[in-house]
């Protein structure tokens, strides 16, 4: 039996930084959307009870497939949550009793995992967080754990701030450091064409946040898509552009394309995006930029 799961690319349509907290994190208000495309994860059982991860794909170079990889950490966290033989569970919500014990048979957790890394690393579109979330969804099915989204999110929260949102992978208003999630249904959003563009330069999150000017420019209005387009912003764009000036050029090029409804940077960068009013406009933009800038990474798709 072989199962597959997509690690959907995450995009911040808007990202408002409100304040720096005493614990060192920042209070955020953001609108997360997810693209029908991303990294691909495959899993199949193995008989010896061991977990193994292999990685390929255009952005696999230099990635560690050992226990520190977020996919492996997610798999181990799920094991701990559902099987006492692996240690005390880490989920605050009670798990179904019929799934909470393996009767000593830890062999059912033996799995070969294979990750195809299609999304650039350190690029502001989910990356490792989306991969970890996909691992939780996939192994929950493969191991027949029977956990719901709430329980998977409780595990995900122990692994990283964005991972619970990536478990759900639907349009969400996200607050706090990423743990407060509110599903949203914004008319006209699902099915919109999006083009993602990265100039080929990795950008770490910590340096970008460090460069934030500490100015609270106000709350995020997520009452409508029009409000997101007209009043939303990404407060991390300025420090990201200071670190990677090419982001400014990408945004200028996207803004000038015909049919663009919105162009912005996602997350802490360096990936930028544009929303389009038609399939034709998106296709032409994708073809044009890929031809003009062969060194840029581009991906187009639909919002989920």
Set 39, 131, 162, 235: catalytic member: 162
- Is the omega angle on the peptide bond into residue 121 within 30 degrees of 0, that is, cis? no
Question: What DSSP character marks residue 303?
Answer: B
Which residue in 145, 147, 137 sits closest to 113, CA to CA?
137
Tokens describing residue 120: 């650039």
Q: Distance between CA atoms of 128 and 287, rounded to whole angstroms?
A: 28
Handedness of CA 300, 59, 45, 78 (dihedral sign): negative
The residue assigned the tokens 């029908």 is 36
97 is catalytic: no
The residue assigned the tokens 């008319």 is 187
Which residue in 94, 28, 69 sits closest to 159, CA to CA?
69
For 65, other C-beta atoms within 10 Å of its C-beta total 16
68 is catalytic: no
CB 69 within 8 A of CB 62: no
| Strands 51-56 and 111-116, sheet pairing | parallel
For 93, other C-beta atoms within 10 Å of its C-beta total 12
List, as one string, the DSSP characters of 3-23: EEEEEEEEEEEEEEEEEE-TT
User: Would you please indicate which residues are annotated as catalytic (active-site) residues?
Assistant: 10, 162
């Amino acid at each position: 039996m072989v199962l597959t799961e997509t690690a959907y690319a995450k995009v911040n349509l808007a990202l408002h930084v409100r304040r720096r907290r005493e614990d060192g994190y920042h209070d955020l208000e953001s609108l997360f959307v997810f693209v029908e495309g991303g990294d691909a994860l495959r899993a199949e059982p193995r008989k010896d009870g061991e977990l193994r991860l292999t990685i390929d794909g255009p952005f696999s170079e230099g990635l560690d497939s050992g226990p520190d990889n977020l996919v492996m950490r997610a798999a181990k966290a799920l094991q701990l949550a559902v099987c006492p033989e692996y240690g005390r569970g880490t989920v605050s919500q009670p798990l179904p009793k019929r799934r909470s014990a393996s009767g000593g048979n830890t062999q059912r957790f033996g799995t070969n995992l294979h990750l195809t890394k299609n999304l650039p690393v350190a690029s502001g579109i989910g990356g490792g967080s989306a991969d970890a979330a996909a691992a939780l969804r996939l192994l929950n099915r493969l191991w027949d754990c029977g956990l719901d989204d709430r329980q998977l999110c409780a595990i995900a929260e122990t692994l990283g701030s964005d991972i619970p949102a990536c478990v759900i992978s639907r349009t969400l208003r996200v607050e706090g450091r990423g743990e407060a999630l509110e599903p949203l249904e914004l008319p006209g959003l699902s099915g919109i064409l999006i083009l993602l563009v990265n100039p080929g330069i990795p950008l770490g999150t910590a340096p970008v946040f460090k460069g934030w000017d500490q100015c609270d420019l106000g709350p995020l209005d997520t009452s409508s898509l029009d409000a997101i387009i007209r009043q939303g912003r990404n407060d991390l764009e300025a420090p990201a552009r200071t670190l990677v000036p090419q982001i400014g050029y990408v945004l200028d090029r996207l803004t000038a394309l015909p049919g663009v409804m919105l162009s912005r940077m996602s997350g802490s960068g360096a990936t930028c995006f544009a929303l389009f009013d038609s399939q034709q406009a998106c296709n032409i933009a994708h073809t044009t930029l890929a031809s003009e800038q062969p060194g840029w990474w581009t991906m187009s798709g639909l919002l989920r």
